[in-house]
Structure formats: C-alpha cells, structure tokens
Amino acid sequence: MVYLSSINGGNRQLSSALMPTIDALTRQMEHHIHDHSTATSIDANAVAEAAAKTWRELAFRLSPIIGVVGMEALFKRSLHLTNLSFPWLSDAAAPTPESSPFSQLYAGLKQQGTIAAIQASEMVLIVFTELLGTLIGVKLTRDLLLSLCKDEPAMPQDGQLDHELNP
C-alpha cells in the first residue's frame, strides 16, 4: 500500500509516527466490515457500509476540532491524493450539487470489487490520517483517533449530524 509520504514525497517520519494509529483504524474498519457482512462472504456493499460508519465516527469526533468544513476539505484532499492509485475515485472526488463526497465514496465503493473497495477505503483513511497529522500534529491525531478505536464514541442521534456526513 502507498502512503501519503510516498505519494507526494512527504515526511516519512510523520508516516512512521502515525503507523500504530493507522493500523488501529484499519482494524476498526475491518471490524465494521465484518459487522456488515454475512457469515460466508464479504462484498463491496459491506465495505461501503463499514467505510460509511467509520467516516461518520471520524466526523463526529473531529468536527468539533477542525469543523465540518475542515473535515470535508481533508476528506476531499484525501480522495484526490488516493485517486492516483484508484482512478475510479475521481468520480467520488467530484461531487454533484446534491451529494457530498462522503456519499459519493460510499456509492463508488459499492460499484467496485471487494478487494478494490477494501484497498481504496483503507488508502483514503491512511491518507486522511497523515493529512490530519500535518494539520493538528501527530500527538493530537494519535490521541484522538486511538480514542476512537478504543471505545465506541457516543454517536449522535439521527438528524444531529449534518446531512453531508451521512451517505
């Protein structure tokens, strides 16, 4: 897998400092995938549902700190950088007026094969984590995101989160 540090010649020290956080987040997403799959198979729909749940949790945890606009901007930038490895994400990176990039990623993942959907969703998450680390610092990124992995955050009731964050 290609990380932000190798996509844009970025800081390898940042990437290695965030590796435990990235690993914990990908394990969390894998847990969500298994929650949304049948006992016998995992499909792209399960991956899309898991990605949507992960992004809702991230948005809920991070929006008070970086704002909804900041969250969306980092997410769009993550999609753009990940598009280098997964060109089909360009459709997700170009939102229509009636949809958010979150919902477009969800729709795009559902249209892919299972392996491609898993790889792309993990790559977007990795790139997002590294971008967040450059914005708010490695320690704060690590603390915030690892706390998300350790316990289920108190998710908002239906309708409390901005509709843009729900696919």
Residue 77 has pLDDT above 90, yes or no: yes
Residue 36 has pLDDT above 70, yes or no: no
Number of domains forming the structure of the chain:
1
Tell me what pLDDT residue 52 has. Answer: 86
Tell me what pLDDT residue 33 has. Answer: 67
Residue 116 falls within a domain, yes or no?
yes
Residue 9 falls within a domain, yes or no?
yes
Tell me what pLDDT residue 2 has. Answer: 39
Better-predicted residue by pLDDT, 102 or 22: 102
Residue 80 has pLDDT above 60, yes or no: yes
Read off the pLDDT of each residue in 138-142 and give the average, rounded to a whole number.
85
Q: What is the pLDDT of residues 39-56, one digit of tens each?
A: 556 788 888 888 888 888
Determine what percent of the chain is predicted with pLDDT higher than 90: 11
Residue 125 falls within a domain, yes or no?
yes
Q: What is the pLDDT of residues 141-166, one digit of tens each?
A: 888 887 777 655 445 444 444 444 44
The DSSP H or E segment spanning 126 is helix 114-136
Residue 159 falls within a domain, yes or no?
no
Residue 167 falls within a domain, yes or no?
no
Q: What is the pLDDT of residues 108-129, one digit of tens each?
A: 898 999 899 989 988 998 899 8
Residue 73 falls within a domain, yes or no?
yes
Could you tell me the pLDDT band of residue 74, with boundaries at 50, 70 and 90?
very high
Q: What one-character DSSP code corresponds to residue 155?
A: P
Question: Cα(82)–Cα(159) distance, rounded to whole angstroms?
Answer: 30
Domain range spanning residue 14? Answer: 4-151
Question: Cα(24)–Cα(20) distance, rounded to whole angstroms?
Answer: 6
Tell me what pLDDT residue 70 has. Answer: 93
Residue 69 falls within a domain, yes or no?
yes
Residue 21 falls within a domain, yes or no?
yes
Contacts of 106-112 with C-beta under 8 Å, sequence gap 24+, read 106/48, 106/51, 106/52, 106/167, 107/48, 107/167, 109/44, 109/47, 109/48, 109/51, 110/44, 110/45, 110/48, 111/44, 112/44, 112/88
Tell me what pLDDT residue 67 has. Answer: 92
